[in-house]
C-alpha cells in the first residue's frame, strides 16, 4: 500500500500568517500565446509551423530601413514612418528586426511601446550625445591583445568571434563593430575568421590565469553549429579554461532557433555535457529587457534547454521608458525566474552614441534595485552595475567613491582590475537642472566639474 503524499495529522484549521494572494501579483505567469503574429498584416496568413521555423524567421527578418517602413504601412501613421526614417539616418546601428520581434510591438501605441523604443529610433525622440561620450566608451579595443579578444579582468577574457546578430539593438555598447556601416559609424571589422580565432586561442592558452571565457560578438546565435562546436572544443581542450559562457540576444528575439534548429541546439548541448564530464562549467547568457519579450514560445525554448541541463542567465540594460520603473523591473525579474532564466546583471546604460534618450541616471538604478531586492529569491535577484567607462569593468552601482547628483558625475575605482585609476560615469544631461546643462556646454566648466568630483572622491578615500 502506497503512503499518501499528504497525510492529515490534525483537524485543527491552518491559520494564515499572510492575507490571500492578490491575483494581480501572479501576472508574471501570464505569457502571451496563440497566433499573436497574425495581428500584423504582413503575417496574417502565416501558420504556426511557419512562425516557429527558425529558417522562416531568419529569411523574413527585415534588414533595411525601406523594408521595415514598408512593413509598417497600414499599422502606423505617415508621420511615424517619416519620424523613423529620419531616426535611422542618425542611428549608429544598422537595421535587423525579426518577424517575432516585430509582432510583439504594440503598433497601436508605437511612440510609447518599450520594444519599439529599443529597435526603431525616432528623430523626434533623439537627444544630443553627452559631451564626454566616446564610441568605444568601455575601451574594449584598448584592452585587446589580439583583435576581437578583450583581456581586462585577471582571470576572464571576452572573445568576439563575429560581428553580426539576429537583430540589432539601438543601445548596443559594441556599435563600433557590430553590423554594417551606417551614415554615422564606420565599423571596425570583426568578421568570422579562422586565422583571427586561432590567434585568440593561442593567447588564451598562453595565459594560465585565464579561467573564464565569454563568447559573444556580435552574437553566438549567429555561429553555425560546427563553428559553435569548434570554439567550444578548442576552449575545453585548454587546461586553464574552467568556465565558458555563450552570450546571445537570441532567446529574446528569436526563440524559435532553439526549438527548430536542432543542429545548433544539439551542438550547444554537446559542449555543455562535455564540459560537465570535464568538471567545467558551460552556460548560456542571454538578454531580456522587458517582460513582454517573454512569451509562451520563450517558455517552450527555455524548457527545452532546462531539460538538457543548460543553465541560462540574463543580463538586462536599464533603459528610459523601457524598464526604468520598479513595477516593470519586478515583473521582468519574476517572469525570468518563472521560465528558468536567472537574472544576473542589470547594467546602467553605457555611454553609447546616438541613444542618449535611452540612458538613465545612477540614482534611478539605486532606487529600482532597492525595491527589486526582496521581491523574489536572492539567487534570482540581479545586481545593478555600472560598466565603468574607460575600462574599469563592472562595478556595483552603489559602490561609487563619490556621486554628485547635481552634476551627474559618479566616480568609481576598480582596485582589482586597474588599481590606482578612477573611472567616471555621467548621468544623462536631460535629467539634470537647466543651469547644470548649461555648464556642460562649456569645456572649461566641464573640467571644473570633473576635477571637483575626482577631488571629493579622493578625500573620501582617505
Strand-pair partners of 342: 313
Q: Would you state the pLDDT for residue 190?
A: 78
Q: What single string gives the DSSP state of each residue in 325-342? A: SHHHHHHHHHHHHHTT-E
Q: Would you state the pLDDT for residue 168?
A: 86
Q: Would you state the pLDDT for residue 438?
A: 97
The tally of CA atoms less than 13 A away on the side-chain side of residue 312 is 27
SS3 content of the chain, % helix, strand, coil (to 5): 40, 15, 45
| Sequence ranges of the domains in the chain | 37-125, 149-395, 400-462
DSSP helix/strand/coil, 28: helix
Chain-centroid distance, C-alpha 93: 15
Q: Would you state the pLDDT for residue 8?
A: 59
Dist CA 264 CA 198 (whole Å): 22
C-alpha cell at 218: 556580435
Task: Rounding to the nearest 10 degrees, give the CA dihedral for residues 136, 142, 144, 146.
Answer: 110
Stretch (H or E) spanning 285? strand 281-286
Burial call 258-269: b when 16+ CB within 10 Å, e when fewer: bbbbeebbebbb
Dist CA 450 CA 143 (whole Å): 24
Strand-pair partners of 220: none
Report the alpha-carbon angle 207-416-142, nearest 5.
60
Q: Looking at residue 324, what DSSP letter applies?
A: -
Contacts of 131 (CB under 8 A, 6+ apart): 440, 441, 443, 446
CATH number of 149-395: 3.20.20.70
Contacts of 129 (CB under 8 A, 6+ apart): 353, 354, 356
Report the alpha-carbon angle 171-83-251, nearest 5.
35
SS (H, E, C) 215-279: ECCCCHHHCCHHHHHHHHHHHHCCCCCCEEEEECCHHHHCCHHHHHCHHHHHHHHHHHHHHHHCC
Chain-centroid distance, C-alpha 95: 17
Q: Would you state the pLDDT for residue 344?
A: 97
Dist CA 174 CA 134 (whole Å): 12
Mean pLDDT per 10-residue section of the chain, whose length is 462 residues: 59 77 90 96 94 96 84 86 88 83 95 95 93 73 88 94 89 62 52 92 98 93 96 98 97 98 98 98 98 98 98 97 98 98 96 91 98 94 94 94 98 95 96 97 97 95 71
Q: Would you state the pLDDT for residue 139?
A: 64
The pTM (predicted TM-score) of the whole model is 0.92
Rg (CA), the chain: 23
Q: Would you state the pLDDT for residue 47?
A: 98
DSSP helix/strand/coil, 62: strand
Amino acid at each position: 500500500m502506497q503512503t499518501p503524499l499528504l497525510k492529515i495529522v490534525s483537524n485543527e484549521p491552518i491559520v494564515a500568517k499572510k492575507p490571500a494572494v492578490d491575483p494581480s501579483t501572479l501576472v508574471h505567469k501570464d505569457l502571451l500565446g496563440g497566433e499573436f503574429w497574425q495581428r500584423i498584416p504582413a503575417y496574417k496568413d502565416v501558420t504556426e509551423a511557419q512562425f516557429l521555423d527558425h529558417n522562416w524567421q531568419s529569411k523574413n527578418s527585415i534588414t533595411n530601413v525601406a523594408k521595415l517602413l514598408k512593413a509598417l504601412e497600414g499599422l502606423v501613421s505617415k508621420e511615424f514612418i517619416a519620424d523613423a526614417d529620419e531616426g535611422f539616418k542618425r542611428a549608429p546601428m544598422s537595421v535587423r528586426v525579426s518577424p517575432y520581434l516585430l509582432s510583439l510591438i504594440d503598433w497601436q501605441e508605437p511612440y510609447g511601446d518599450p520594444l519599439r523604443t529599443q529597435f526603431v529610433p525616432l528623430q523626434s525622440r533623439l537627444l544630443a550625445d553627452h559631451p564626454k561620450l566616446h564610441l568605444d566608451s568601455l575601451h574594449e579595443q584598448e584592452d585587446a591583445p589580439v583583435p576581437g579578444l578583450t583581456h581586462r579582468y585577471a582571470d576572464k577574457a571576452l572573445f568576439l568571434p563575429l560581428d553580426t546578430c539576429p537583430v540589432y539593438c539601438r543601445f548596443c555598447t559594441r556599435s563600433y563593430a557590430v553590423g554594417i556601416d551606417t551614415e554615422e559609424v564606420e565599423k571596425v571589422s570583426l568578421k568570422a575568421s579562422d586565422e583571427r580565432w586561432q590567434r585568440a586561442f593561442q593567447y588564451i592558452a598562453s595565459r594560465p590565469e585565464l579561467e573564464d571565457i565569454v563568447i559573444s560578438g556580435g552574437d553566438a546565435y549567429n555561429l553555425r553549429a560546427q563553428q559553435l562546436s569548434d570554439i567550444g572544443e578548442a576552449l575545453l581542450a585548454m587546461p586553464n579554461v574552467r568556465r565558458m559562457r555563450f552570450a546571445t540576444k537570441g532567446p529574446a528575439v528569436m526563440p524559435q532557433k532553439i526549438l527548430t534548429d536542432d543542429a545548433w541546439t544539439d551542438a550547444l548541448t554537446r559542449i555543455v555535457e562535455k564540459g560537465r564530464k570535464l568538471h567545467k562549467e558551460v552556460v548560456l547568457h542571454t538578454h531580456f529587457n522587458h517582460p513582454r519579450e517573454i512569451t509562451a514560445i520563450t517558455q517552450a525554448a527555455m524548457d527545452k534547454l532546462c531539460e538538457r541541463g543548460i543553465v541560462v542567465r540574463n543580463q538586462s540594460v536599464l533603459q528610459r521608458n523601457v524598464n526604468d520603473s520598479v513595477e516593470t523591473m519586478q515583473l521582468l525579474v519574476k517572469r525570468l525566474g518563472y521560465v528558468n532564466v536567472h537574472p544576473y546583471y542589470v547594467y546602467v546604460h553605457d555611454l553609447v552614441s546616438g541613444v542618449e534618450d535611452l540612458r538613465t541616471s545612477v540614482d534611478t538604478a539605486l532606487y529600482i534595485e532597492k525595491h527589486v531586492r526582496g521581491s523574489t529569491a536572492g539567487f534570482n535577484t540581479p545586481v545593478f552595475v555600472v560598466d565603468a567607462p574607460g575600462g574599469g569593468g563592472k562595478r556595483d552601482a552603489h559602490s561609487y567613491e563619490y556621486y554628485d547628483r547635481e552634476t551627474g558625475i559618479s566616480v568609481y575605482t576598480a582596485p582589482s582590475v586597474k588599481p590606482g585609476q578612477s573611472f567616471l560615469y555621467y548621468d544623462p544631461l536631460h535629467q539634470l537642472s537647466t543651469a547644470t546643462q548649461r555648464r556642460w556646454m562649456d569645456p572649461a566648466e566641464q573640467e571644473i566639474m570633473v576635477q571637483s568630483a575626482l577631488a571629493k572622491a579622493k578625500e573620501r578615500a582617505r
